[in-house]
């Protein structure tokens, strides 16, 4: 018997995989390279091959699942970009699926194209660089920066430690009062 928290985490992992499976099937077929990537990502999350196979077989029409925490959303985004490149072809339907998912996550859809363009042939940022980006985005969310300032930070200053400071100086520390 599994406890409540173990059940919650298993549910998160399966929902995470369902979103990836939906992406892999967005072009109407599941390529062998995409299936291989699904098993690799599933193993990273501790899922057994039989659990992954069941998810793949049972999820023909999947409603996307929105992760609860910011970290889970960022991990999903990272794995989505890996899946986009799994078959070596970035398809418009895959990009559109990811953009719709990002909107449901409360993110700007442009983050998808930015990340795809900045991931060289399916090589997303290293885990360390991704953790750094994740921390920066977390700071933005905590500061409740204006959408204009967030967009500028995302796309023009994302890799610069001085980027947030420069943007704040330029725009006069714009914070949304919520």
Q: Which CATH class for the 4-124 domain?
A: mainly alpha
**Every domain of the chain and the residues it spans:** 4-124
Distance (Å, whole) CA 178 – CA 176: 6
Model confidence at 56, in pLDDT bands (50, 70, 90)?
A: very high
Q: What is the pLDDT of residues 111-157, one digit of tens each?
A: 888 888 777 666 777 778 877 877 776 666 665 555 555 555 555 54
Can you read off the two tokens belonging to residue 159? 């890799």
Distance from CA of residue 58 to its chain's centroid?
Answer: 23
pLDDT value of residue 17 = 94
pTM: 0.70
pLDDT tens readout for residues 65-100:
888 888 888 889 889 988 988 888 888 999 999 999
Q: Measured at the alpha carbon of residue 102, what is the angle toward residues 19 and 175, in degrees to the nearest 5?
A: 145
């Amino acid at each position: 018997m599994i406890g409540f928290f173990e059940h919650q985490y298993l549910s998160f992992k399966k929902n995470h995989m369902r979103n990836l499976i939906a992406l892999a099937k967005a072009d109407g077929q599941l390529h062998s390279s995409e299936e291989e990537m699904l098993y690799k990502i599933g193993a990273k999350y501790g899922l057994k091959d039989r659990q992954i196979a069941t998810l793949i077989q049972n999820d023909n029409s999947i409603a996307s699942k929105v992760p609860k925490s910011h970290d889970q959303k960022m991990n999903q985004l990272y794995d989505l970009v890996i899946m986009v490149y799994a078959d070596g072809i970035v398809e418009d339907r895959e990009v559109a699926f990811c953009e719709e998912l990002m909107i449901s996550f409360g993110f700007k859809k442009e983050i998808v194209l930015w990340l795809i363009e900045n991931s060289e042939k399916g090589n997303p940022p290293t885990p360390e660089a991704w953790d750094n980006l994740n921390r920066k985005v977390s700071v933005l969310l905590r500061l409740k920066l204006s959408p204009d300032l967030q967009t500028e930070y995302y796309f023009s200053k994302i890799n610069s430690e001085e980027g947030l400071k420069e943007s704040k100086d330029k725009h006069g520390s714009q914070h949304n009062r919520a």
